[in-house]
């Protein structure tokens, strides 16, 4: 039975013969939330969106929207609008006609159409472009027309599937801010699909990270960054990604001790890595390259065949092929189970961890000053 969540998926699966799209998906979305479905290609994020939208029928499970079981209903009866990677604009219609096309089909009175159009044009910054055809618009403007069309529909739920993929980096950032501002001002519930973790981190109230058709982790951007549930989550969320190092390759000063579960890998975020002397207290590494980015420098290292990226504030210059040592404060280390890949602790003893697990990194002792 549904609870008070605006969207609820319970045991949802989608299969095509032996091929699995998603399996055992349980998910709740609150009214007015901006939820991002994130993951690599083929993880099931678009399939999940299509199941919520009614573009696919589940092989198992139930779907509720606003307290109503919509599992067997077509998209038109689910009270939602959609924005896709393709703008899907009619080339022979101008901006205004494209925006209100759906309202005409639904026979919304002309006065109401004019009112909704004016509001949508204002919200999306398209005022003055009403008479232009899609061919006369930039990519960003076309995507704004698609957004305006979703706005005038007046539905409380909007589904967005990779809507920014066709835009260049600068436009993606600009339209990303537009979408978030619109969602907040209108109070819409948005389910948004992307493979770009930067988009997800910058837009979401909550991220649903998927892998191989199953949910890997659900949480706020900060939760996924600071306390990744698995080694996969640790490396997928964050730019540059977290570096994972095999425990067996670490010097004694950096190895976790006193841990019940077998630790297979230790993960450290780039900003928590410190480059120092190549001695027995540090992990030996060879500098492969570095990038000066203004406020910071990214240093690319080879630690015995394991790629590691360190983020150093300000200017830092190294010679390619130089041998250095890599270290970190144990409070910033994330430990992952040797068999399952699940997180054993969160760095610094995150909320919800047992006292024993909080103390794991302390047992390793702190690095000597570098």
- Assign residue 241 the CATH number of its domain: 2.40.50.140
pLDDT at position 7 over 60: yes
The answer to whether residues 88 and 197 belong to one domain is yes
Mean confidence (pLDDT) of the chain: 88
pLDDT at position 264 over 80: yes
Q: pTM of this prediction?
A: 0.87
The answer to whether residues 241 and 218 belong to one domain is no
- Name the domain boundary from 194, 226, 258: 226
pLDDT of residue 206: 98
The answer to whether residues 60 and 197 belong to one domain is yes
Gap between the Cα atoms of 366 and 370, Å rounded: 11
The answer to whether residues 94 and 212 belong to one domain is yes
More confident residue, 126 or 4: 126
Would you say residue 346 lies in a domain? Answer: yes
The answer to whether residues 46 and 88 belong to one domain is yes
- Name the domain boundary from 186, 208, 226: 226
Range of the domain at 220: 7-226
First to last CA, the chain: 58
The answer to whether residues 214 and 281 belong to one domain is no
Residues 123-135 pLDDT 10s: 888 999 999 999 9
Contact 12, 52 (CB under 8 A): no
The answer to whether residues 198 and 111 belong to one domain is yes
The answer to whether residues 280 and 332 belong to one domain is yes
Gap between the Cα atoms of 94 and 121, Å rounded: 13
Q: What is the CATH number of the domain that holds 191?
A: 3.40.50.300
Q: Which residue has the tokens 């819409």?
A: 188
The answer to whether residues 65 and 176 belong to one domain is yes
pLDDT at position 4 over 80: no
The answer to whether residues 127 and 248 belong to one domain is no
pLDDT of residue 164: 85
Q: How confident is the model at residue 348 (pLDDT cuts 50, 70, 90)?
A: low
Would you say residue 262 lies in a domain? Answer: yes
Instruction: Map residue 33 onto helix, strand or coil.
Output: coil
The answer to whether residues 204 and 246 belong to one domain is no
In the chain, the number of structural domains is 2
- Name the domain boundary from 208, 226, 244: 226
Q: How confident is the model at residue 174 (pLDDT cuts 50, 70, 90)?
A: confident
Nearest partner of 25 among 59, 61, 49, judged by Cα? 61
What is residue 165's DSSP assignment?
Answer: T
Residues 283-331 pLDDT 10s: 999 999 999 999 999 999 999 999 999 999 999 889 999 999 999 998 8
H or E element: which one contains 327? Answer: strand 323-327
More confident residue, 125 or 219: 219
Gap between the Cα atoms of 120 and 81, Å rounded: 14
The answer to whether residues 277 and 215 belong to one domain is no
């Amino acid at each position: 039975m549904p609870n008070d969540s605006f969207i609820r998926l319970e045991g949802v699966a989608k299969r095509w013969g032996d091929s699995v799209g998603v399996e055992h998906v349980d998910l709740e979305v609150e009214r007015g939330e901006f939820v991002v479905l994130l993951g690599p290609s083929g993880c099931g994020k678009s399939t999940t969106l299509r199941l919520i939208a009614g573009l696919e029928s589940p092989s198992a499970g139930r779907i509720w929207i606003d307290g109503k079981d919509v599992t067997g209903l077509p998209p038109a009866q689910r009270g939602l609008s959609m924005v896709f990677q393709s703008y899907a604009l009619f080339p022979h219609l101008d901006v205004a006609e494209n925006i209100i096309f759906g309202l005409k089909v639904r026979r919304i009175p002309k006065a109401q159409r004019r009112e909704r159009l004016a509001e949508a044009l204002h919200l999306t910054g398209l005022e003055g472009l009403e008479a232009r055809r899609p061919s006369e618009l930039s990519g960003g403007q076309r995507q704004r027309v698609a957004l305006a069309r979703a706005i005038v529909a007046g539905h409380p739920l909007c589904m967005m599937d990779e809507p920014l993929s066709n835009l260049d980096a600068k436009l993606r950032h600009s339209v990303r801010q537009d979408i978030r501002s619109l969602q907040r001002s209108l109070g819409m519930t948005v389910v948004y699909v992307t493979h770009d973790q930067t988009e997800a981190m910058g837009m979401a109230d909550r991220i649903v990270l998927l892998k191989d058709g199953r949910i890997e982790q659900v949480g706020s951007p900060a939760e996924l960054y600071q306390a990744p549930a698995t080694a996969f989550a640790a490396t997928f969320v964050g730019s540059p990604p977290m570096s994972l190092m095999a425990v067996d390759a670490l010097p004694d000063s950096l190895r976790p001790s006193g841990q019940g579960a077998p630790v297979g890998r230790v993960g450290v975020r780039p900003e928590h890595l410190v480059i120092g002397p190549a001695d027995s207290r540090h992990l030996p590494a060879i500098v492969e390259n570095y990038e000066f980015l203004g406020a910071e420098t990214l240093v690319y290292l080879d630690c015995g065949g394991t790629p590691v990226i360190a983020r150093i504030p300000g200017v830092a210059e190294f010679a390619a092929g130089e041998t250095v040592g890599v270290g970190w404060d144990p409070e910033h280390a994330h430990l992952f189970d040797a068999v399952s890949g699940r997180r054993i602790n969160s760095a610094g003893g995150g909320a919800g961890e047992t006292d024993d697990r909080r103390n794991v990194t302390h047992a390793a002792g702190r690095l000597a000053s570098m």
